[in-house]
Amino acid sequence: QKEVEQNSGPLSVPEGAIASLNCTYSDRGSQSFFWYRQYSGKSPELIMSIYSNGDKEDGRFTAQLNKASQYVSLLIRDSQPSDSATYLCAVFNTGNQFYFGTGTSLTVIP
């Protein structure tokens, strides 16, 4: 079982819709969770971090964490074509190890 799993997609949503990206992790004791965005041919950039159960909002982005289900998600409201990218979930686990998922490719259709 992989430490962090994501649906590779591609996920396509129309402009203005809500994009929902999901991630599961295997280490139940993990405490830190991150979402990175990576445009094609570019480096990853951090967009959200979350440490507690519940929702965390930042502009059009909302991260949701459910530790009981070992599940973290990212919602993008009012999706724009500029949001088209690969979204990487990352987890810092109890063994002080840091893992990325393989990413979900998102395409926002104008």
Partner 1 sequence: DAGVIQSPRHEVTEMGQEVTLRCKPISGHNSLFWYRQTMMRGLELLIYFNNNVPIDDSGMPEDRFSAKMPNASFSTLKIQPSEPRDSAVYFCASSLPGTGFNEQFFGPGTRLTVL
Contact positions toward partner 1, by CB under 8 A? Answer: 32, 34, 42-46, 49, 88, 90, 92, 96-103
Taking the C-alpha atoms of residue 72 and residue 110, their distance in angstroms, rounded to an integer, is 27
**By C-beta, is 28 or 39 nearer to partner 1?**
39
**Kind and range of the H or E run holding 25:** strand 19-25
What is the nearest approach in angstroms of partner 1 to the Cβ of residue 47?
A: 12
**By C-beta, is 16 or 39 nearer to partner 1?**
39
**Would you report the helix, strand and coil content of the chain in percent, each value rounded to 5?**
5, 55, 40
What is the nearest approach in angstroms of partner 1 to the Cβ of residue 87?
A: 12
Q: What type of residue sits at position 7?
A: N
**By C-beta, is 81 or 98 nearer to partner 1?**
98
